[in-house]
Amino acid sequence: MSLISQSARPKKEVNKTKRDEPEVEEGNEADVDALKLKKKKRGEELVKKQVKEMKKLENFLFGSLYSPVEFGEDNQVDADDTAKGSDLFFTDRSADTVLTVYKEDAADDFSEDETDLQIKPVWVDEEEERTTVNIAKLNRLRKLRKEEEESVISGSEYVSRLRAHHIKLNPGTEWAQVDSKSKGDRSSDDELTDEENEDFADVLRTNEDLVVKSSSKLLPGHIEYSKLVDANIQDPSNGPIHSVQFHRNGQLLLTAGLDRKLRFFQVDGKRNTKIQSIFLEECPIRKASFLPDGSQVILSGRRKFFYSFDLVKAKVDKIGPLVGREEKSLEFFEVSPDSKLIAFVGNEGYILLVSTKTKQLVGTLKMNGTIRSLAFAEDGQHLLSAGGDGQVYHWDLRTMTCLHKGVDEGCINSSALCTSPGGTHFAAGSDSGIVNIYNREEFLGGKRKPIKTIANLTTKVDFMKFNHDSQILAICSNMKKSSLKLIHIPSYTVFSNFPSANSSLHYPRSIDFSPGGGFMAVGNAAGKVLLYKLHHYQHA
């Protein structure tokens, strides 16, 4: 039943009213018109009364936000009732004294061009300035330090750094970024140049750098990381993973192993979409590597030949055996940083140098003992090698001569070599699990003492890798479960929180960092490629 029908008069009352009305004689037209006008006014008053009751009920149910009070002679009677309903809903304008945009008096004067509005916090805790926080005492607070020896800071500084850390872990979305600078938004101030105005506009678009000054220095002790979805989750390998490597674009990742398949994945940390896989029927893959220029992939196994996969043409070429050589295996090799040479480990201490363009043998180098590991340095102009005699050789590839030969301290059988991207440091691993880190210039100058000796591994060192800025060195052994360590190079200490106690690294076999340092991929003997996000680095 509607509200109008509830307010209508009963039928008997209407009939009674009709009976009480005086009868009008047929010839009196003036009295008929007066009676009709009287009935019309009475009907209008009845409708107004019903509408008034409906408004009163609405005000009672929904408050004055939906039916605001109207001031006037007709509504004067219902003002009190409406006010009662408005108590259910109200607008909080307690910030009027601070936020000038809420001031009704200033509303007329406010315009879009005003830039002098100052928004102040509604409440400031005075205890923040008097309180001190020791950020070096708890492990979870050490990430807030700017310097290694920093410990006690004020409460306000603690709050500021927490906000900055939140911004660092939760960057803004791409669609909210301003792609281009608008010339029409430049200030017309005569005292400032156009370039200065653009700088001020950039400052107003973000507050990240205003909170804390960004720093690329990685602090020792603990490393912030997150375990992501496996990089090869869409197509795990049926055998051990012997090679993982990121393309120079930071998104493409290759994986290769003994199941004879070369796989490519687009790594984003969420889906890690599989792009392509290539099956090599005649060769279980022992190593696969991108050329630094990103044009080809070199693959090898325990065979007399090797393969080259052209990424542009999507074509696989079989190369070998090499002319003039009788090597039974070309499974170990390194690619020069300038993408010109491939150095293979040969028999009886020989190093075989092959051109990446012609795929032909262009030169050989000879060590006194057996050779087990290689590493390029200085944009491909120098080559380091080590083997069974415990010595490290430095070769000049421009003259094809040995520059220096020195003993790796405490090493009997060398098992791995690795150079930093800048060529200033190199690391040498041995069968005993010892890793020595050297300054390369000092070693060439005759200093045999290493900068630091890492003894955290107890079995043979199989693989080592520096990240892009040489602040992290990863070392692993495939003879023991979870035998992987990350070393902080500036302090030459091991990160104590990686790997965690409940991690499932299995037997790690290969490691690689993305070009920007944001991702770390670990291939293991179970056919999985574990993917980690290193929070210190913002880009992949």
Residue 1: predicted pLDDT: 43
Please name the amino acid found at residue 329: S
Mean pLDDT of 452-475: 95
> Is residue 305 exposed (0-12), middle (13-18) or buried (19+ Cβ within 10 Å)?
middle
| Phi, psi (deg, nearest 5) at residue 7 | -90, -5
Q: At 440, list the tokens.
A: 């390369």
Are 528 and 232 within 8 A, CB to CB?
A: yes
Which band of pLDDT confidence, cut at 50, 70 and 90, is reported for residue 129?
confident
The Cα–Cα gap between 282 and 279 comes to: 9
The top-scoring range by mean pLDDT among 48-57, 153-162, 299-308 is 299-308
Provide the pLDDT for residue 352: 96
Is 399 within 8 Å of 391 (Cβ atoms)? Answer: no
pLDDT at 198: 55
The mean pLDDT value for 450-472 works out to: 95
Render 127-152 in DSSP notation, one character per residue. Answer: HHHH-EEETTTSGGGGGG-SSTT--E
pLDDT digits 0-9 by tens, 234-292: 999 999 999 999 999 888 999 999 999 999 999 999 999 999 999 999 999 999 999 99
The set of residues, in sequence order, having a beta carbon less than 8 Å from that of 232 and lying 6+ positions away, is 241, 255, 263, 265, 272, 274, 527, 528, 529
Mean pLDDT (the chain) is: 81
> Are 394 and 405 contacting, i.e. CB atoms less than 8 angstroms apart?
yes
Read off the tokens for 11: 């039928």
**CA dihedral sign of residues 431, 436, 440, 442:** negative
Q: Is the peptide bond before 321 cis (omega within 30 degrees of 0)?
A: yes
Highest mean pLDDT among 115-119, 136-140, 469-473, 497-501: 469-473
Those residues whose C-beta lies under 8 Å from the C-beta of residue 315, and which sit 6 or more positions away, are 309
Query: Poorest-confidence range of 146-155, 282-291, 345-354, 448-457?
Result: 146-155
**Cα–Cα distances in angstroms (integers) from residue 338 to residues 290, 353, 398, 424, in the given order:** 12, 14, 13, 17
Query: How sure is the predictor about 486, in pLDDT bands with cuts at 50, 70 and 90?
Result: very high
Q: Cα 307 from chain centroid?
A: 35
pLDDT at 139: 79
Confidence bin at 53 (pLDDT 50/70/90): confident
pLDDT tier at 444, thresholds 50, 70, 90 = very high
Joined tokens for residue 437: 């880190």
**Are 196 and 247 in contact, with CB atoms under 8 Å apart?**
no
Helix H segments across 292-449? 440-444
Calpha distance 227→264 (Å, rounded): 20
Beta sheet of 382-387, edge-to-edge order: 371-377, 382-387, 391-396, 401-407
What's the mean pLDDT in 204-232? 74
Q: How confident is residue 78, by pLDDT bands cut at 50, 70 and 90?
A: very low
Residue spans of beta strands (DSSP E) within 267-368: 273-279, 285-290, 296-301, 306-310, 315-319, 333-335, 341-345, 350-355, 361-366
Residue 41 is predicted with a pLDDT of 82
Does residue 389 register a pLDDT over 80? yes
Mean pLDDT of 123-145: 83
pLDDT of residue 431: 93
**CA–CA distance from 428 to each of 378, 439, 452, 488 (Å)?**
17, 11, 11, 16
| Three-state secondary structure string covering 177-216 | CCCCCCHHHCCCCCCCCHHHHHHHHHHHHCCHHHHCCCCC
Rounded CA gap, 270 and 356, in Å? 35
Report the share of the chain in percent with pLDDT over 90. Answer: 52
More confident residue, 205 or 50: 50
Say how many C-beta atoms besides its own lie within 10 A of residue 352's C-beta: 21
Torsion sign (Cα): 395, 444, 336, 256: positive
Helices (H) then strands (E): counts for the chain: 9, 30
Q: Which residues lie below 8 Å from residue 187, measured CB to CB, with a gap of 6+?
A: 197, 200
pTM over 0.85: no
Does the pLDDT value for residue 6 go beyond 50? no
What pLDDT does residue 522 have?
A: 97
Q: Render pLDDT for 305-330 as a digit per residue (tens, 0 to 9).
A: 999 999 999 999 999 899 888 888 99
Assign 169 to helix, strand or coil. Answer: helix
Residue ranges and CATH numbers for the domains of the chain are: 225-534 (2.130.10.10)
